[in-house]
Chains A and B, each alone.
Chain A
């Protein structure tokens, strides 16, 4: 009997075991393809995209390591984490890296780990080295660690963003930026491995003016990669969208700033700025999710104001006299001086008054709900709809303004606009050369160059007052000081073009809030005006260029006739032509970029227009004429045809 009891008990255990296995089996059943979607677990895996193969590259080493830790993965990772810290304190860098490698194998999908430790290597460990090349190596290793994280976590835009951040900010903004940027652009091995990550370092998009990959532009490509990922539907986690989207366009601006500070102050800089401007504008047209339930576009603030005005107008019409009456009531309660201020036409207002009026503006609009209550009952329904629309627009305006201010959107827009002007680049070049001359103790040259530059800067500040309040203004102020030392004077001369600027910077270079507010107000209009001016100039230039081309073509034809007449002359002519072609060729090398092509074109045109530099203009004309000769017999591989297609190409770039 004992035996049967024991047997019975065993059977019961068996049945219970099997019964417990059954739900497990059902839950965990794999998908069988087709309509068979497998058990719940398989379904959920698909639903949340968390199958190992969806998350990223599958690493057998990682899998076995997880198995080998016998379920104590967390414990093992914690111990290793501790140890990695100890190694860091002991300056055992190689061991630290080995430990980080193991942590990454254990927990490849914990993206904060990648981020933290990559930062650790690139920012904390790198500074421990004395040799800047070793520092660069460590930055590179940190960045590559992050890249590995990206490979293993396909759906982590934040990691991609961070990689882009490293390439840009770490390599381009640290104290060693000159060295880092140089080492990066020569780091062929890194470029190769970047190519494997589908970062097109060999494309013109990634290359700086010297034809080598530029860290800011490569960073931007990474960021763009992240933007594409998010556009394809992956969520941004652990980061505000504004911050996420801002960086890529910003890197273009930083790139332009960087090459200028390295002394590239010619058409390439101008071109870099115009591309930066394009990027910034398209950033303004991107829908950005906000904390509110709607998305906004940073560049659409004016449009929102226009819409609001439109609604208010219709509201005014619909409510009949009620709106005007309410408006008048408010007006009557205003203090006298404000009344006159409000009545005054905008063009007659002084700066202070404009700031004041701006502040009062929002109090002048009557409470729309009250107006509705007093309005004609038949129109009330429509009025209420309009009110709710206005309110909605108001909210959007509020958000957009707030977001714009967060990242100083208008400033960067203006900066990019100002910097792509030829005269800005020229002013910078003059300052750069003046500084160089100054440091080489060629004082007369330096003073001369400084003075030339200050005149241009004065013009620029006139149109772009906002530029007086930024870093480069600070640099300019330093230059003015050096200029004062050079002319050996405590006082600036009477006719000094930048007197206002110097006065403003007077107190430790700090600008008070009020002045900033004024500048901000005026800036928009001035920039707009300047834009129109430039567009007008451009049109004129184009017309003139056409005329010049025709003329040059004619001249050329005449010359050819003459060539036939005199062989020697022809030979000399050919030499010149070859030289021009060679120059063109060199340009074409850098010009594989469509954008660069646009730059070349602009450069040519502007040079054409430069009456002051008559000699240069002539030469350029000759070049142009030759280039535009449709059946040019000089060199079949000359980039003539390419420059012919420039306009359409550059518009392509702007679409991006």
Chain B
């Protein structure tokens, strides 16, 4: 998976954006809450003044605000909230929502029909399938249970049996939200378990026999397993009788050779993982060795768009450029290089070498030697001093995560000896011999890491006029590994957060809209959240004058006229002007709304981490959790006032 700039932010970076506060989530949240309060007060005043006249209306609004702060909030009792939550829970269960779990099981049972059995990476396919299915089902469910409950109560007047009791509006709202979240949680748990079983079972297979095996000259046994589930492995066994297969479809097996010459092939390993990456900062050097921000663009097609991750500063038009990370390429046989600077390289984190994962792209400017894949090299370098190791060559394994372990003790590069004999880290050993016949050995922590714990790794391409491409996430150190089950749990936690958010919105809308309308309103919010990126992009195209079909009206006209999106809009000038102005208005409004809504695709995107075998960062989950709490509080406040106003009306 290729990560975008905001994926690398830590929680505090996301919350505060030290260099660009305008982009920070905190500011966005504050603005949203202030806006909600101001708008709420104004709307509340308009409504109540319409009802009671301007003077009395003001007092009504002031009274309910005072009620909230003086009585309702401090007086909210957990016991009553829980009692109401239990009610909501029971009510939802009585509406047979648990059928959704059954539906999910059915979906899982039939999934095999639609999932490509010949996939190269079945783990990724299966995991992203179960997570996406769960996600959509749960969101749909949250939509239904939350939107209909209150309106039904109000319509049946059963609400009076509650409001006549000494129950506060805050308690009613909170009780509903918590109750429904409880129902959702109850359903997520079996779904999560079923998903886990589905994925693990779906990937399980056994190779029962070895089809080909021969002993090599040096006593090793190499051979091939049988063909099961659209793949086979080749393996190599050492003299001690234990060996590994190669990685096919994301997994490998352990192969043992028994004394009687038979082979035992173990279960698949390595398919379900949660690598904990430690990303570095990337910097490119062009062919003459000058620093270059992005590396060479080899002209691969790129997707348009990507203006999303700039918060308010984008909305007010300060940040304009797209912020999408593209692969930067390094030219082979020149001074071109990609330099990764990793921090926190300590012996505690990497006791047995530096585990490094490489997933880079290769680009050939000419075919060259077809049978030979491109070669790259990795060089370890001190960030500040001119000390570097010998380059470690490797063959590029494209579209796969190539896992390597760099040794902690490594030969020094010949250049060091030539240029810096005097200041050589182990001057007495090497400089004494003078000739440089045997190069000194460097220790990573002692000689190559600086005081801040930083280490540079330089990627170069070894083939002349061929290119290797990388992004920040292409090469990372892997200090640790988490269990897949835990990672899946975190992915489910992310779904749980989304569900909570949708429930909060649903309850909020149901306090002042009738059931179906509340559901539609919530659905619109969810859809807007999902398509926020498209809205941002459309606004950008309109701002920048890029012809990509225009806003909604223009698009409609184009569809009806069957015009391509890059042609001039074929209507008369005045009409075009009207359409474009109206479109701009609509798109700007949509942009504002979409910016104020939770960014759901980003949250759905956490599934991608689990699917790609990368540990879901704590920071990511914390960000989602924080945003969820924020939106829930907002929804709670809005709900309170509306419910209060209805109480007054009643």
Contacts and interface: CB of A to CB of B under 8 A. Distances in A.
B370 A97 contact: no
B637 interface: no
B423 interface: no
A402 B399 CA distance: 50
A94, A141, A176 — most chain B CB neighbours (10 Å): A94
Contact of A132 (B115, B370, B399): B370
A102 B114 contact: yes
Contacts of A101: 114, 116
Given A90-B303, A189-B227, A64 B113 contact: yes
B2 interface: yes
Contacts of A61: 113-114
A131 B399 CA distance: 11
B116 A97 contact: yes
B399 A129 contact: yes
B466 to A, nearest CB: 9
A65 interface: yes
B396 interface: yes
Interface string A609-642: 0000000000000000000000000000000000
Given A94-B119, A101-B116, A130 B370 contact: no
A94 B114 contact: no
Size category of the B interface is 20 to 34
A152 B303 CA distance: 33
A90 B370 contact: no
B11 to A, nearest CB: 28
A102 B118 CA distance: 13
B471 to A, nearest CB: 12
A372 B371 CA distance: 72
B472 to A, nearest CB: 16
Residue from the set A86, A105, A134 with the largest chain B CB neighbour count within 10 Å: A134
Interface string A104-125: 0100000000000000000000
A189 B228 CA distance: 12
Nearest to A177: B370
The DSSP consensus for interface residues of chain A is helix
A65 B107 CA distance: 12
Interface string B247-258: 000000000000
Interface string B370-408: 110110000000000000000000001111000000000
Interface in A357-381: none
From A86, A102, A130, A189, residue with most partner B Cβ within 10 Å:
A130
A89 B2 CA distance: 12
Nearest to A141: B118
A37 B303 CA distance: 54
Contacts of A141: 118
Contacts of B371: 132, 179
A132 to B, nearest CB: 5
Contacts of A176: 370
A130 B367 contact: no
B562 interface: no
B109 interface: no
Q: Categorize the interface residue count of chain A.
A: 20 to 34
A64 B112 CA distance: 13
Interface stretch (B120-128, B238-246, B432-440, B442-450): B120-128
A189 B211 CA distance: 14
A71 interface: no
Interface in A61-101: 61, 64-65, 86, 89-91, 93-94, 97-98, 101
B373 A130 contact: yes
A635 to B, nearest CB: 32
A121 to B, nearest CB: 12
Nearest to A144: B118
Nearest to B125: A98
Nearest to B115: A98
A65 B361 CA distance: 35
- Name, among A91, A105, A179, A189, the residue most crowded by chain B CB atoms within 10 Å (CB to CB): A91
A102 B115 CA distance: 8
B278 to A, nearest CB: 24
A175 B370 CA distance: 8
A179 B119 CA distance: 24
Interface in B101-157: 110, 113-116, 118-121, 124-125
Contacts of B362: 130
Interface string B398-432: 11000000000000000000000000000000000
A255 to B, nearest CB: 21
Contact of B303 (A89, A98, A130, A178): A89
B260 interface: no
B364 interface: yes
A335 interface: no
Contact of A130 (B119, B301, B374): B374
A89 B399 contact: no
Contacts of B396: 130
Nearest to A62: B113
Interface in A632-656: none
B567 interface: no
Given A90-B303, A94-B124, A131 B398 contact: yes
Interface in B1-52: 2
B121 A94 contact: yes
Interface in A164-198: 175-176, 178-179, 189
B398 A134 contact: yes
Contacts of B113: 60-61, 64
B216 interface: no
**Max chain A CB contacts within 10 Å: which of B113, B227, B302?**
B113
Contacts of A175: 367, 370
A93 to B, nearest CB: 6
B367 A105 contact: no
Contacts of B227: 189
A97 B398 contact: no
Which residue among A129, A131, A134 has the maximum number of chain B CB atoms within 10 Å of its CB? A131
Interface in A332-348: none
Nearest to B301: A89
Nearest to B128: A95
Contacts of B124: 94
A7 B120 CA distance: 64
A501 to B, nearest CB: 31
Contacts of A93: 120, 399
A522 B621 CA distance: 82
Contacts of A65: 114
Given A97-B116, A98-B115, A105-B114, A131 B367 contact: no
B225 to A, nearest CB: 13
Contact of A64 (B110, B367, B397): B110
B361 A97 contact: no
Interface string B335-371: 0000000000000000000000000011010010011
A97 B119 contact: yes
A318 B76 CA distance: 120
A148 to B, nearest CB: 11
A142 to B, nearest CB: 13
B329 to A, nearest CB: 13
A45 B340 CA distance: 65
A179 B371 CA distance: 8
B85 to A, nearest CB: 35
Interface of B: 2, 110, 113-116, 118-121, 124-125, 227, 300-303, 361-362, 364, 367, 370-371, 373-374, 396-399
Given A89-B301, A134-B399, A178-B370, 10 more contacts: A60-B113, A91-B399, A98-B119, A102-B114, A105-B114, A130-B373, A131-B373, A132-B371, A134-B398, A179-B370
21 contacts: A61-B113, A64-B110, A64-B113, A89-B300, A91-B361, A93-B399, A94-B120, A94-B124, A94-B125, A97-B116, A97-B120, A98-B116, A98-B119, A105-B114, A129-B399, A130-B362, A130-B374, A130-B396, A176-B370, A179-B370, A179-B371
